[in-house]
Structure 1
Amino acid sequence: MIVHSFPPVADSRSKLLILGSMPGTASLRAGQYYWNPRNHMWAILYTLFGDGVPEPEYDSRIAFALRNRIALWDSIAACEREGSLDADIKDAVPNDIPGLLRQYPQIGAIVCNGNKSFAELQKHHGASPEVAERQVLKLPSTSPVPTPRYRGFPDKLEAWRVIKDLL
C-alpha cells in the first residue's frame, strides 16, 4: 500500500526540525503526528519543555511544539509499506527537506527520530548545502518498540535531552 506523510509543521520561530521517517498506521489514520499514545514523542517534548503531561488535543500539542521553536516533518514523502515498521518501507520518495530549510532559514539543527529517518535524509539530501550547513543528529526512535540500548521511556528521554541545547 502506498502511504503519504503529512505537511510540515513549522513557522518563523522554528529553530529545530524533528524528522520522523513516515508516520505509523495509527497516525496516518488520525492525520496526526505521533498520534499513537504509546509513542514517546509527546511525552518527551512535554517532559523537556513543559509539565510532563501532554495536552489531549492535537492542535494544542502542535501549538506547544511551535511555541518551543520545534518543527515537525518526515524524511519520506511517500512509500510503499504495510503496517508501521520502518523495516517494511519500500520505494521511498523523499520530502523536499532543502526546500523547507530555505523557507525557514532560522532552523539551525535537524534531529532525526530514528535510524530510517537519518538514513533517508543522508541518502537524498546529505550533500545539499541546506542540510550540510546544519547540525544533524540521529536520536533513538520514539517508537514504543524497545531496542537493546533503549529499553523504554527513561532511556529515550535521557538521549533526547540534548535537544534542549539546540534551541
Structure 2
Amino acid sequence: MLKSSFPPVVAPNTRLLVLGSLPGDRSLAEARYYAHPQNQFWRLMSPVVGRDLHTLPYEDRLAALLARGIGLWDVVASAHRPGSTDAAIRDIAGNDIAALATSLPELQAIAFNGATAAKHGTRLLAGLEIERIALPSSSPLHTVGLAAKQPAWDALKPFVIPGLSRDPG
C-alpha cells in the first residue's frame, strides 16, 4: 500500500528540524505526527522544550514545538509499506528536505528520529553543510527504554530557542 507523509510543520524561526521516516498506520489514520500512544516522541521531546507535551492536545503540542524553534517532517514523501515498521518500507520517494532546510534562515541542525530516517535523510542532504544528529527511534518497536534514549534526545536542547518563558498551561 502506498503511504505518504504529512506536510512539514515549520516556522521562520525554526532552528532544529526533527525528521522521522514515514508516519505509521495510527498516525496516518489520525493525521497526526506520532499518534501511536506507545510512541515515545512526545515524552522524549518534553524535557527538551521544558514542558509536558504528552498531556497536551495535538495542536498545542505542535504550537509548543514551533514556539521553541523546533520543526517536524519526514524523510520519506511516499513509499509502499505494509504495516508500520520501517524495515518494510519499499520504493521510497524522498521529501525535498534540502530545499526545506535552505528555506529556513535560522536552521542550525537536523535531527533524525531513528536509523531509517538517518540513512535516507543523510543521502537526501548530501552536499548541504548543516549539523546532523542521529537519535534512537521513538518508536515502540525500538526496544530500548525511554530512560536509555533520553540522554541522546537531550542533545537537542542547545538548539531550542533560549530565553523563552515556560508556559505553565
Please give the TM-score of this superposition, normalised by the length of structure 1: 0.90
Q: What secondary structure is seen at the aligned counterpart in 1 of 2:18?
A: strand
Aligned residue pairs total 160
For the 8 Å contact 1:98–1:128, the answer to whether it is kept is no
Determine the C-alpha separation between the residues in 2 that align with 1:24 and 1:50.
26
Instruction: List gaps (5 residues or longer) in structure 1.
Output: none
Check if 1:140 corresponds to 2:133.
no
For the 8 Å contact 1:47–1:53, the answer to whether it is kept is no
Q: Structure 1's 101 and 49: CA in aligned 2 closer, same or farther, altered over 3 A? A: same
Determine the C-alpha separation between the residues in 1 that align with 2:97 and 2:87.
22
Check if 1:128 corresponds to 2:127.
yes
Q: Structure 1's 144 and 113: CA in aligned 2 closer, same or farther, altered over 3 A? A: same
Q: What secondary structure is seen at the aligned counterpart in 1 of 2:38?
A: coil
Runs of 4+ that moved beyond 3 A: none
| Greater helix content | 1
Check if 1:156 corresponds to 2:156.
no
Determine the C-alpha separation between the residues in 2 that align with 1:53 and 1:111.
18
Return 67-76 or 50-59, whichever deviates more.
50-59
Q: What secondary structure is seen at the aligned counterpart in 1 of 2:60?
A: helix
Please give the TM-score of this superposition, normalised by the length of structure 2: 0.89
Determine the C-alpha separation between the residues in 2 that align with 1:164 and 1:48.
5
Show CA shifts across 1:62-92 (max 9, x none). 0011011100000000000010000000001
Partner residue of 2:164? none
Following TM superposition, by how much is the alpha carbon of 1:47 offset from its aligned partner in structure 2, in angstroms? 2.6
For the 8 Å contact 2:5–2:74, the answer to whether it is kept is yes
1:161 partner amino acid: D
Q: What secondary structure is seen at the aligned counterpart in 1 of 2:155?
A: helix
Determine the C-alpha separation between the residues in 1 that align with 2:42 and 2:57.
12
For the 8 Å contact 2:8–2:71, the answer to whether it is kept is yes
For the 8 Å contact 1:14–1:106, the answer to whether it is kept is yes
Partner residue of 2:57? 57
Q: What secondary structure is seen at the aligned counterpart in 2 of 1:110?
A: strand
Determine the C-alpha separation between the residues in 2 that align with 1:28 and 1:8.
14
Following TM superposition, by how much is the alpha carbon of 1:53 offset from its aligned partner in structure 2, in angstroms? 5.1
For the 8 Å contact 1:109–1:166, the answer to whether it is kept is yes
Partner residue of 2:167? none
For the 8 Å contact 2:135–2:153, the answer to whether it is kept is yes
Partner residue of 2:66? 66
- RMSD across aligned positions (CA): 1.3
